[in-house]
Structure 1
Amino acid sequence: MREFSVPAVITAAPVGGLADVVFEYARQDPGRVVLGRKTDGVWRDVTSGELCAQVLALAKGLLAQGVRFGDRVGLMARTRYEWTLFDFALWAIGAQPVPVYPTSSADQVWWILHDSACTACLVENEDQAMTVGSVVDRLPGLRRLWQLDAGAVEQLVADGRSVADDVVDRHRGAVTPDAVATVIYTSGTTGRPKGCVLTHANFMYETDTMVARWESVFGGGPGEEPSTLLFLPLAHVFGRMVQVAAVRSRVKLGHQPVLAAAELLPDLAAFRPTFVLGVPHVFEKVFAAARRTAEVEGRTGAFDRAVETAVRYAEAREQKAFGAGPGPSAALRMEHQLFEKLVYGKVRAALGGRVRHAMSGGSAMSRRLGLFFDGAGITVFEGYGLTESCAAATANPPGATKYGTVGLPIPGTTVHVAEDGEVWLYGPHVFAGYLNDPAASAQVLREGWLATGDLGRLDEDGYLTITGRKKEILVTSNGKSVAPAALEERVRSHPLVSQCIVVGNDRPYVAALVTLDPEGIAHWLSMRSRPQLAPKDLVRDPELTAEIRRAVVAANTLVSQAESIRSFRVLPEQFTEERGLLTPSLKLKRRAIEKTYAHEVAALYQS
Structure 2
Amino acid sequence: MSSIPVLLRDRIAATPDAEAYRTPSGDGWSSMSWREVGERVRGLALGLAELGAGPGTRVSILCSTRVEWVLCDLAVLSTGAATTTIYPSNTAAESAFVITDSGSTIVIAENDDQVAKLTSVRKELPDVTNVVVIDGTAGDDGWVITLDSVRGEGDYDAMVDAIGPDAVATLIYTSGTTGRPKGVVLTHDNWLYAAGAVRELGLLSGDDLHFLWLPLSHSFGKLLEVVMIGVGVPTAIDGRLDRIADNLGILQPTFMAAAPRIFEKIHNTVTATQRREGGVKLKIFEWARATGIRVVKARQHGAAIPLTTRLEFAVADRLVFSKLRARFGGRIRFFISGAAPLSQEIAEFFDAAGLTILEGYGLTESSAGSFLSRPGNVKFGTVGLPFPGTKVRIAEDGEILIGGRGIMRGYHDLPAETAEALEDGWLHTGDIGELDAEGRLAITDRKKELIKTSGGKYVAPTYLEGRLKATCPYLSHVFVHGDRRNYCTALVTLDLDVTVPWARSLGLPTDPEELRTHPRMREEVEKAVEQVNAEQASYATIKKFAILAQDFTVEGGELTPSLKVKRKSVEQRYGDTLDAFYQDPV
- Report what 1:432 is aligned to: 409
Q: SS at 1:568's partner residue?
A: strand
Matches within 5 A, 1:523-562: 523-528=501-506, 530-562=507-539
CA distance in 2, matches of 1:147, 1:531: 47
The code of the aligned residue for 1:277 comes to: A
Structure 2 alignment gaps of length 5 or more: 139-143
Deviation at 1:159, TM superposition (A): 4.5
Deviation at 1:439, TM superposition (A): 0.7
Deviation at 1:121, TM superposition (A): 0.5
- Report what 1:53 is aligned to: 39
Answering whether residue 218 of structure 2 is matched by residue 236 of structure 1, we say: yes
**Residue 62 of structure 2 contacts residue 87 of structure 2 at CA under 8 Å; is this kept in 1?**
yes
**Aligned sequence identity (%):** 37
Q: SS at 1:148's partner residue?
A: strand
Q: Deviations over 1:101-143 (max 9, x none)?
A: 0000122111100110000101111221111112221121111
User: Which residue of the other structure, out of 587, 597, 603, is the alignment partner of 2:564?
Assistant: 587
Deviation at 1:276, TM superposition (A): 0.7
Structure-2 change in CA distance of 1:29 and 1:395 (3 Å): closer
Matches within 5 A, 1:46-195: 46-150=32-136, 155-156=146-147, 158-161=149-152, 163-164=153-154, 167-195=155-183
Relative contact order (C-alpha < 8 Å, sep 6+): which is higher?
A: 1
- Report what 2:369 is aligned to: 392
Structure 1 consecutive aligned stretches of length 4 or more whose deviation exceeds 6 Å: 151-154
Q: Deviations over 1:142-194 (max 9, x none)?
A: 11101111278995554525x13xx2211100111111110001010111110
- Report what 2:239 is aligned to: 257
User: Which residue of the other structure, out of 446, 469, 473, is the alignment partner of 2:446?
Assistant: 469
Q: SS at 1:160's partner residue?
A: coil
Deviation at 1:377, TM superposition (A): 1.3
- Report what 1:443 is aligned to: 420
- Report what 2:499 is aligned to: 521
Deviation at 1:314, TM superposition (A): 2.1
CA distance in 1, matches of 2:248, 2:145: 29
CA distance in 1, matches of 2:124, 2:515: 46
Alignment size in residue pairs = 576
Q: Which moved more, 1:567-576 or 1:431-440?
A: 567-576
Deviation at 1:292, TM superposition (A): 3.5
User: Which residue of the other structure, out of 561, 565, 574, is the alignment partner of 2:551?
Assistant: 574
CA distance in 1, matches of 2:572, 2:521: 26
CA distance in 1, matches of 2:481, 2:276: 36
The CA RMSD measured in Å over matched residues stands at 1.8
Structure-2 change in CA distance of 1:203 and 1:584 (3 Å): same
CA distance in 2, matches of 1:93, 1:603: 57
Deviation at 1:354, TM superposition (A): 0.9
Structure-2 change in CA distance of 1:302 and 1:154 (3 Å): farther
Q: SS at 1:574's partner residue?
A: coil
User: Which residue of the other structure, out of 490, 511, 517, is the alignment partner of 1:512?
Assistant: 490
Q: SS at 2:448's partner residue?
A: helix
Deviation at 1:275, TM superposition (A): 0.6
The code of the aligned residue for 1:58 comes to: L
TM-score relative to the length of structure 2: 0.95
CA distance in 2, matches of 1:48, 1:334: 46
- Report what 1:496 is aligned to: 474
CA distance in 1, matches of 2:308, 2:137: 61
CA distance in 2, matches of 1:169, 1:556: 62
CA distance in 2, matches of 1:28, 1:202: 23
CA distance in 2, matches of 1:144, 1:127: 16
Deviation at 1:293, TM superposition (A): 3.7
Q: Deviations over 1:228-267 (max 9, x none)?
A: 110111011011111111121110111111112xx22222
**Residue 432 of structure 2 contacts residue 443 of structure 2 at CA under 8 Å; is this kept in 1?**
yes
Deviation at 1:297, TM superposition (A): 4.6
Q: Which moved more, 1:171-180 or 1:150-159?
A: 150-159
**Residue 65 of structure 1 contacts residue 156 of structure 1 at CA under 8 Å; is this kept in 2?**
no
**Residue 55 of structure 1 contacts residue 85 of structure 1 at CA under 8 Å; is this kept in 2?**
yes
User: Which residue of the other structure, out of 262, 265, 284, is the alignment partner of 1:282?
Assistant: 262
**Residue 384 of structure 1 contacts residue 395 of structure 1 at CA under 8 Å; is this kept in 2?**
yes
User: Which residue of the other structure, out of 365, 388, 391, is the alignment partner of 1:414?
Assistant: 391
- Report what 1:309 is aligned to: 291
CA distance in 2, matches of 1:316, 1:196: 43
TM-score relative to the length of structure 1: 0.92
Matches within 5 A, 1:181-220: 181-213=169-201, 215-216=202-203, 218-219=204-205
Q: Which moved more, 1:55-64 or 1:93-102?
A: 55-64
User: Which residue of the other structure, out of 267, 274, 289, is the alignment partner of 1:294?
Assistant: 274
CA distance in 2, matches of 1:159, 1:437: 34
The code of the aligned residue for 2:424 comes to: E
Q: Which moved more, 1:130-139 or 1:519-528?
A: 519-528
**Residue 318 of structure 1 contacts residue 400 of structure 1 at CA under 8 Å; is this kept in 2?**
no
Q: SS at 2:392's partner residue?
A: strand
The code of the aligned residue for 2:407 comes to: V
CA distance in 2, matches of 1:582, 1:567: 23
The code of the aligned residue for 2:409 comes to: A
Answering whether residue 316 of structure 2 is matched by residue 344 of structure 1, we say: no
Q: Deviations over 1:494-514 (max 9, x none)?
A: 211111111112222111111
Deviation at 1:369, TM superposition (A): 1.6
The code of the aligned residue for 1:300 comes to: L
Q: Deviations over 1:305-362 (max 9, x none)?
A: 1112222222222333xxxx23x33222211211223211221122222112111011
CA distance in 1, matches of 2:451, 2:312: 44
Deviation at 1:269, TM superposition (A): 2.1
Q: Which moved more, 1:42-51 or 1:176-185?
A: 42-51
Q: SS at 1:124's partner residue?
A: strand
Q: SS at 1:441's partner residue?
A: helix
Deviation at 1:382, TM superposition (A): 0.4
Structure-2 change in CA distance of 1:571 and 1:159 (3 Å): closer
Q: SS at 2:98's partner residue?
A: helix
**Residue 61 of structure 1 contacts residue 157 of structure 1 at CA under 8 Å; is this kept in 2?**
no
CA distance in 2, matches of 1:397, 1:300: 33
Answering whether residue 212 of structure 2 is matched by residue 226 of structure 1, we say: no
CA distance in 2, matches of 1:151, 1:57: 20
Answering whether residue 2 of structure 2 is matched by residue 22 of structure 1, we say: no
- Report what 1:369 is aligned to: 346
The code of the aligned residue for 2:473 comes to: P
